[in-house]
Amino acid sequence: MRMFGTAGKAAAVVAIAALALTGCGRSESSSSSSASGGTGGFPAGSTIGVALPQKTSENWVLAEGLFNDGLKAAGFNPDVQFANGGVSEQQNQISAMVTKGAKVIIVGAIDGSQLGTQVQQAKAAGATVIAYDRLLKNTDAVDYYVAYDNYKVGQLQGQALLDGMKAKKPNGPYNVELFAGSPDDANAKVFWDGAMNILQPKIDDGTLKVLSGQKSFDQAVTQGWKAENAQKRMDTILAASYNSAPLDGVLSPNDTLARAIITSVKSAGKPVPVVTGQDSEVESVKSIMAGEQYSTINKDTRNLVAKAIDMVKKLQAGQKPDINDDKSYNNGVKTVPAFLLPPQIVTKANAKEAYANDPTLSKLTQ
């Protein structure tokens, strides 16, 4: 897992402290925020709840330590919980944070559509609710959303798939398969929509051929973001559609699934196609440098946690947090004011530059 040593951990805390003061990402316009939170302030040293989902990727594991260390360094009392037992556990954890008097509750949802009752409890108790990385759906009891620009992530993945295949074979058509994330994760459809914004025109004009015929989000989803589910589906697709036909590329929404897809292809005795990813996981960066996985997305968890903590600091001071998108994220009930950070595509060609400031990943690109 992508974890820091002592020096790296210290650097991460310093990074959080610095970023919490300066903010990061796009230009800021906090004065025009229409959010309801951030006007009263609350005492220093207050409890801040952080409800994280299951440990399905390295970045979630990393976030736990960063939130604990960063909130403590900022003078707060952190209550950081993982819900490895599922949605009901996360519901109970958020309710417990309300009972403990948390002034802000940061929620990285397992299923953003099943926490309405709990976040309404938080609002009724006077807490501010921040959706972290994944949007909370169908509730007006969410004040802010902080994330990387996930539609842009999908666009970058789609373009990387096209670029990687063209580099290997200048002229199409190309045979591709499409994978999406877990349907209970609000981000999965956003990633898909961004990617298909790039890929659908190429499917329509015949440049891309999906031999399995599985072209819809519902057909492409991977329940729970589980590697074994992606590998099993890839096994089935290869056996049914690629006995003699070449497979040129696979849209994978994250690194864990990318590696599972590559494992399936290699087990079938076929050449590794161009495979996209996301999250900059250690094993996938190694794979990229070895020339197997083609690309990933750099969404530095340190920056995202730092921005969430910056929001908490502003709220504690009675100020409104910085917002740079107050139009795009309608959760079915309200448009949630958001702060979006810019993602970065990473291939072997730019990995050294992309990870120059990452104490772990920079060592893999030498």
Q: Tell me what the mean pLDDT of segment 13-21 comes to.
A: 42
Q: Tell me what the mean pLDDT of segment 279-293 comes to.
A: 97
Tell me which of 155 and 22 has the higher pLDDT. 155
Helix (H) / strand (E) element for 208: namely strand 208-209
38-73 b/e (C-beta count within 10 Å ≥ 16 → b):
beeebeeebbbbbbbbbebbbbbbbbbbbbbbbbee
Q: Which fold has domain 150-298?
A: Rossmann fold (3.40.50)
Q: Where are the alpha helices (DSSP H) in the chain?
A: 6-22, 58-73, 87-99, 116-124, 150-168, 186-204, 217-220, 227-241, 255-267, 282-289, 301-316, 351-354
Q: Which fold has domain 6-148+300-343?
A: Rossmann fold (3.40.50)
For CATH 3.40.50.2300, list the domain ranges present in the chain. Answer: 6-148+300-343, 150-298
Check pLDDT > 90 for residue 321: yes
- Provide the pLDDT confidence category of residue 76 given band limits of 50, 70 and 90: very high
CA pair distance 200, 207, nearest whole angstrom: 10
- Provide the pLDDT confidence category of residue 58 given band limits of 50, 70 and 90: confident
The pLDDT value recorded for residue 28 is 35
Tokens representing 341? 């950070």
The pLDDT value recorded for residue 186 is 87
CA pair distance 209, 50, nearest whole angstrom: 43
By residue count, the chain amounts to: 366
Listing DSSP states for 121-176 in one string gives HHHHTT-EEEEESSPPPS-S---EEEEE-HHHHHHHHHHHHHHHHHHHSSS--EEE
For residue 219, give every residue at least 6 positions away whose Cβ sits within 8 Å of its Cβ, in sequence order, or none: none
Tell me which of 234 and 54 has the higher pLDDT. 234
The pLDDT value recorded for residue 39 is 54
Q: Tell me what the mean pLDDT of segment 298-315 comes to.
A: 96
Radius of gyration (Cα) for the chain, nearest Å?
21
> What percentage of the chain has pLDDT greater than the value 90?
86
334 in helix, strand or coil? coil
Q: What is the pLDDT of residues 141-169, one digit of tens each?
A: 999 999 999 999 999 999 999 999 999 99
The pLDDT value recorded for residue 295 is 98
Tell me which of 238 and 11 has the higher pLDDT. 238
Q: Tell me what the mean pLDDT of segment 174-201 comes to.
A: 96
pTM over 0.85: no
Check pLDDT > 90 for residue 232: yes
